[in-house]
Amino acid sequence: MATSMSSTPSLDITYTLTDGNITETSSVGLSLKFPDGTGTGQVNIGVGITGYISSGETVIYDFQKFPKEIWNSHLLLDFTSESDSFPLIANLDNPERGIKGLIVTNTWDTSVLPTGAASISSWSGIVTPTSTGLANADLPRINIRATGSYSYPSGGFTQLFNSKYNVAESGNISINPKSTWSFVDPVGKTPIYDTDSSVYMHTLSIVTENFTNISGSGGTGVGGVPVYYPIWNDVTSGNPWSGNLPRMSYEILAIGVTG
Protein backbone atom coordinates (compact mmCIF):
# COMPACT_ATOMS: atom_id res chain seq x y z
CA MET A 1 0.00 0.00 0.00
CA ALA A 2 1.37 3.43 -0.98
CA THR A 3 1.91 5.96 1.81
CA SER A 4 0.24 9.35 1.42
CA MET A 5 0.30 12.57 3.40
CA SER A 6 -2.12 15.45 4.00
CA SER A 7 -2.36 18.33 6.47
CA THR A 8 -4.95 20.95 7.46
CA PRO A 9 -3.30 24.02 9.04
CA SER A 10 -5.95 26.16 10.73
CA LEU A 11 -5.95 29.33 12.82
CA ASP A 12 -9.09 31.27 13.72
CA ILE A 13 -9.40 34.12 16.24
CA THR A 14 -12.88 35.35 17.14
CA TYR A 15 -14.06 37.98 19.60
CA THR A 16 -17.46 39.07 20.88
CA LEU A 17 -17.99 42.51 22.44
CA THR A 18 -21.31 43.09 24.23
CA ASP A 19 -22.79 46.37 25.51
CA GLY A 20 -26.32 45.92 26.71
CA ASN A 21 -28.35 44.69 23.73
CA ILE A 22 -25.61 45.54 21.22
CA THR A 23 -23.16 42.82 20.23
CA GLU A 24 -20.16 43.03 17.97
CA THR A 25 -18.50 39.89 16.68
CA SER A 26 -15.54 39.55 14.39
CA SER A 27 -13.39 36.70 13.20
CA VAL A 28 -10.26 36.42 11.15
CA GLY A 29 -8.83 33.06 10.32
CA LEU A 30 -7.18 30.78 7.87
CA SER A 31 -7.82 27.15 7.11
CA LEU A 32 -5.92 25.37 4.35
CA LYS A 33 -5.86 21.87 2.97
CA PHE A 34 -2.46 20.55 1.94
CA PRO A 35 -2.84 17.32 -0.05
CA ASP A 36 -0.10 14.85 -0.82
CA GLY A 37 2.49 16.05 -3.30
CA THR A 38 5.56 18.21 -3.83
CA GLY A 39 4.10 21.31 -5.49
CA THR A 40 2.70 24.57 -4.18
CA GLY A 41 0.18 23.92 -1.41
CA GLN A 42 1.23 20.26 -1.12
CA VAL A 43 3.22 18.28 1.44
CA ASN A 44 4.69 14.80 1.55
CA ILE A 45 5.82 14.49 5.17
CA GLY A 46 5.08 15.69 8.69
CA VAL A 47 6.88 15.32 12.00
CA GLY A 48 5.89 16.17 15.57
CA ILE A 49 8.14 16.06 18.62
CA THR A 50 7.55 16.64 22.33
CA GLY A 51 10.81 17.71 23.92
CA TYR A 52 12.28 18.88 27.21
CA ILE A 53 14.90 21.54 27.87
CA SER A 54 16.87 22.49 30.98
CA SER A 55 18.59 25.68 32.10
CA GLY A 56 21.56 26.57 29.94
CA GLU A 57 20.76 23.91 27.35
CA THR A 58 20.45 24.52 23.62
CA VAL A 59 18.34 22.14 21.53
CA ILE A 60 19.10 22.29 17.80
CA TYR A 61 16.76 21.05 15.08
CA ASP A 62 18.51 20.50 11.78
CA PHE A 63 16.24 20.56 8.72
CA GLN A 64 18.90 18.72 6.76
CA LYS A 65 18.52 15.73 9.11
CA PHE A 66 15.32 16.27 11.08
CA PRO A 67 14.58 13.23 13.30
CA LYS A 68 11.37 11.26 12.89
CA GLU A 69 10.20 8.07 14.58
CA ILE A 70 7.65 6.11 12.59
CA TRP A 71 6.50 2.50 12.58
CA ASN A 72 9.44 1.35 14.75
CA SER A 73 11.91 3.07 12.42
CA HIS A 74 14.17 6.08 12.91
CA LEU A 75 14.42 8.45 9.93
CA LEU A 76 16.36 11.64 9.24
CA LEU A 77 14.33 13.93 6.99
CA ASP A 78 16.02 16.30 4.53
CA PHE A 79 13.99 19.44 3.75
CA THR A 80 17.00 21.30 2.27
CA SER A 81 18.19 22.21 -1.19
CA GLU A 82 21.47 23.30 -2.74
CA SER A 83 21.75 26.61 -4.59
CA ASP A 84 23.10 27.29 -8.09
CA SER A 85 24.17 30.92 -7.80
CA PHE A 86 25.28 32.21 -4.42
CA PRO A 87 24.77 34.90 -3.17
CA LEU A 88 21.54 34.93 -5.19
CA ILE A 89 20.53 31.75 -3.43
CA ALA A 90 16.91 31.88 -4.54
CA ASN A 91 17.91 29.71 -7.52
CA LEU A 92 17.54 26.34 -5.87
CA ASP A 93 18.40 22.93 -7.21
CA ASN A 94 15.30 21.53 -5.50
CA PRO A 95 12.80 24.42 -5.16
CA GLU A 96 9.99 22.02 -4.30
CA ARG A 97 11.60 21.15 -0.98
CA GLY A 98 11.09 23.06 2.24
CA ILE A 99 8.78 23.85 5.14
CA LYS A 100 5.09 24.64 4.53
CA GLY A 101 4.07 24.80 8.17
CA LEU A 102 5.80 24.94 11.55
CA ILE A 103 4.52 25.40 15.09
CA VAL A 104 6.48 25.66 18.36
CA THR A 105 4.66 25.68 21.71
CA ASN A 106 5.86 26.37 25.24
CA THR A 107 3.83 23.83 27.23
CA TRP A 108 4.98 24.85 30.73
CA ASP A 109 1.94 24.54 33.02
CA THR A 110 0.87 27.98 34.18
CA SER A 111 -2.22 26.86 36.08
CA VAL A 112 -0.80 28.78 39.06
CA LEU A 113 -1.40 32.07 37.21
CA PRO A 114 -4.80 33.47 38.30
CA THR A 115 -6.97 34.84 35.51
CA GLY A 116 -6.43 38.55 35.07
CA ALA A 117 -3.57 38.72 37.55
CA ALA A 118 -0.47 40.74 36.81
CA SER A 119 1.70 38.25 38.71
CA ILE A 120 1.50 34.82 40.32
CA SER A 121 0.67 36.48 43.64
CA SER A 122 -1.80 33.78 44.66
CA TRP A 123 0.85 31.03 44.71
CA SER A 124 1.09 30.60 48.48
CA GLY A 125 4.38 31.80 49.92
CA ILE A 126 6.08 32.56 46.63
CA VAL A 127 8.85 35.14 46.87
CA THR A 128 11.89 35.96 44.78
CA PRO A 129 15.17 37.32 46.14
CA THR A 130 13.90 40.86 45.45
CA SER A 131 10.10 40.80 45.61
CA THR A 132 6.90 38.92 46.44
CA GLY A 133 5.02 37.30 43.58
CA LEU A 134 6.39 36.40 40.18
CA ALA A 135 5.94 39.12 37.55
CA ASN A 136 4.85 38.13 34.05
CA ALA A 137 8.23 39.29 32.76
CA ASP A 138 9.84 36.62 34.95
CA LEU A 139 7.77 33.70 33.67
CA PRO A 140 9.81 30.83 32.21
CA ARG A 141 10.01 31.22 28.45
CA ILE A 142 11.59 29.41 25.56
CA ASN A 143 13.34 31.25 22.77
CA ILE A 144 13.53 29.98 19.21
CA ARG A 145 16.46 31.23 17.16
CA ALA A 146 17.76 31.04 13.62
CA THR A 147 21.21 32.44 14.25
CA GLY A 148 24.76 31.56 13.28
CA SER A 149 26.95 32.33 10.30
CA TYR A 150 25.65 30.96 6.99
CA SER A 151 29.23 30.15 5.97
CA TYR A 152 29.58 27.40 8.57
CA PRO A 153 27.59 24.18 8.93
CA SER A 154 24.64 24.60 11.31
CA GLY A 155 23.86 28.14 10.13
CA GLY A 156 20.41 29.43 11.08
CA PHE A 157 17.26 28.89 8.98
CA THR A 158 16.61 32.67 8.87
CA GLN A 159 14.10 32.44 6.02
CA LEU A 160 11.42 31.48 8.55
CA PHE A 161 11.51 34.92 10.14
CA ASN A 162 12.71 37.38 7.52
CA SER A 163 12.89 38.01 3.80
CA LYS A 164 12.99 34.82 1.81
CA TYR A 165 16.76 34.71 1.37
CA ASN A 166 18.94 37.29 3.07
CA VAL A 167 22.18 35.98 4.50
CA ALA A 168 22.63 39.11 6.63
CA GLU A 169 19.50 38.64 8.75
CA SER A 170 18.70 36.46 11.73
CA GLY A 171 15.70 35.48 13.80
CA ASN A 172 14.83 35.34 17.48
CA ILE A 173 11.34 34.83 18.96
CA SER A 174 10.42 34.51 22.65
CA ILE A 175 7.47 32.28 23.63
CA ASN A 176 5.68 32.63 26.98
CA PRO A 177 4.17 29.65 28.86
CA LYS A 178 1.14 28.09 27.18
CA SER A 179 1.89 30.18 24.13
CA THR A 180 2.85 29.35 20.59
CA TRP A 181 4.53 30.63 17.44
CA SER A 182 3.46 29.29 14.06
CA PHE A 183 4.25 29.63 10.38
CA VAL A 184 2.08 28.54 7.42
CA ASP A 185 2.98 29.15 3.78
CA PRO A 186 1.61 27.20 0.78
CA VAL A 187 4.73 28.16 -1.21
CA GLY A 188 7.06 27.31 1.66
CA LYS A 189 10.53 28.35 2.74
CA THR A 190 13.48 26.15 1.77
CA PRO A 191 16.45 25.70 4.09
CA ILE A 192 19.86 25.70 2.36
CA TYR A 193 22.59 23.10 2.76
CA ASP A 194 25.17 23.63 0.04
CA THR A 195 28.70 22.29 0.54
CA ASP A 196 29.90 23.51 -2.88
CA SER A 197 29.05 27.16 -2.13
CA SER A 198 29.57 26.83 1.64
CA VAL A 199 26.07 28.17 2.35
CA TYR A 200 24.30 26.67 5.36
CA MET A 201 20.91 28.06 6.45
CA HIS A 202 19.11 25.08 7.92
CA THR A 203 18.94 24.98 11.75
CA LEU A 204 16.52 26.16 14.41
CA SER A 205 17.69 26.45 18.03
CA ILE A 206 15.60 26.39 21.22
CA VAL A 207 16.95 27.84 24.47
CA THR A 208 15.43 28.80 27.84
CA GLU A 209 14.82 32.17 29.44
CA ASN A 210 14.21 33.16 33.07
CA PHE A 211 15.15 30.29 35.32
CA THR A 212 13.89 32.59 38.07
CA ASN A 213 14.80 31.61 41.63
CA ILE A 214 11.82 31.47 44.00
CA SER A 215 11.03 30.41 47.55
CA GLY A 216 7.74 28.77 48.40
CA SER A 217 5.93 27.40 51.41
CA GLY A 218 8.44 25.31 53.34
CA GLY A 219 11.36 26.79 51.42
CA THR A 220 13.24 28.20 54.41
CA GLY A 221 16.58 27.35 55.95
CA VAL A 222 18.14 27.80 59.38
CA GLY A 223 16.67 30.79 61.24
CA GLY A 224 13.87 31.19 58.70
CA VAL A 225 16.19 32.40 55.95
CA PRO A 226 14.54 31.73 52.57
CA VAL A 227 15.98 28.98 50.40
CA TYR A 228 15.58 29.69 46.71
CA TYR A 229 15.07 27.12 43.95
CA PRO A 230 14.87 27.52 40.18
CA ILE A 231 11.18 27.67 39.33
CA TRP A 232 11.10 24.53 37.20
CA ASN A 233 14.55 23.03 37.61
CA ASP A 234 13.83 21.94 41.17
CA VAL A 235 16.17 19.05 41.89
CA THR A 236 17.70 20.17 45.22
CA SER A 237 17.01 17.93 48.23
CA GLY A 238 14.32 19.39 50.46
CA ASN A 239 12.74 21.43 47.72
CA PRO A 240 9.08 22.19 48.57
CA TRP A 241 8.20 21.32 44.96
CA SER A 242 10.16 18.08 44.87
CA GLY A 243 8.80 15.74 42.24
CA ASN A 244 8.38 18.37 39.55
CA LEU A 245 10.28 17.79 36.35
CA PRO A 246 13.80 19.28 36.42
CA ARG A 247 13.13 20.74 32.98
CA MET A 248 10.36 22.35 30.95
CA SER A 249 8.45 20.90 28.04
CA TYR A 250 7.79 22.13 24.53
CA GLU A 251 6.31 20.81 21.30
CA ILE A 252 7.42 21.32 17.71
CA LEU A 253 5.62 20.17 14.56
CA ALA A 254 6.72 20.65 10.96
CA ILE A 255 5.09 19.81 7.62
CA GLY A 256 6.68 20.16 4.22
CA VAL A 257 8.42 18.47 1.33
CA THR A 258 11.53 16.32 1.48
CA GLY A 259 13.60 14.69 -1.22
Domain ranges of the chain: 38-257
Residue of 151, 259, 156, 166 lying closest to 196 (CA atoms)? 151
Determine the 3-state secondary structure of 144 from DSSP. strand
Q: Which of 68-77, 89-98, 163-172, 177-186 has the lowest mean pLDDT?
A: 163-172
Confidence (pTM): 0.78
Q: Higher-confidence residue: 80 or 242?
A: 80
pLDDT, residue 122, reads 41
pLDDT, residue 115, reads 47
Biggest distance spanned by C-alpha atoms of the chain: 71
Contact 225, 209 (CB under 8 A): no
Amino acid present at 33:
K
Residue of 236, 180, 230 lying closest to 210 (CA atoms)? 230
Q: Region 11-22: what's the mean pLDDT?
A: 86
pLDDT, residue 254, reads 93
Task: Name the DSSP class of 136.
Answer: G
**Alpha-carbon torsion, ordered 143, 116, 211, 182, to 10 deg:** -10
pLDDT, residue 225, reads 64
Determine the 3-state secondary structure of 16 from DSSP. strand
Average pLDDT of the chain to the nearest whole number: 75
* pLDDT over 60 (residue 240): no
* Phi-psi sector, 20: left (phi>0), alpha (psi -120 to 50), beta: left
Instruction: Give residue 226's pLDDT band: very low, low, confident or very high (50, 70, 90).
Output: low
User: Cα 251–256–259 angle (5° rounding)?
Assistant: 125
Peptide bond into 87 cis (omega under 30): yes
pLDDT, residue 112, reads 44
Please provide the DSSP assignment of 178-240 as one string. Answer: TEEEEEEEEEEE--EEETTTTEEE-EEEEEEE---EEB-TT-B-GGG-B--EESS---STT-T
CB burial readout 199-217, b (16+ within 10 A) else e = bbbbbbbbbbbbbbbbbbe
Indicate the helix (H) or strand (E) that contains 19: strand 10-19
Q: How many Cβ atoms from other residues are within 10 Å of residue 180's Cβ?
A: 14
Q: Region 174-181: what's the mean pLDDT?
A: 86
Q: Which of 139-153, 170-184, 188-202, 216-230 has the lowest mean pLDDT?
A: 216-230
Contact 98, 256 (CB under 8 A): yes
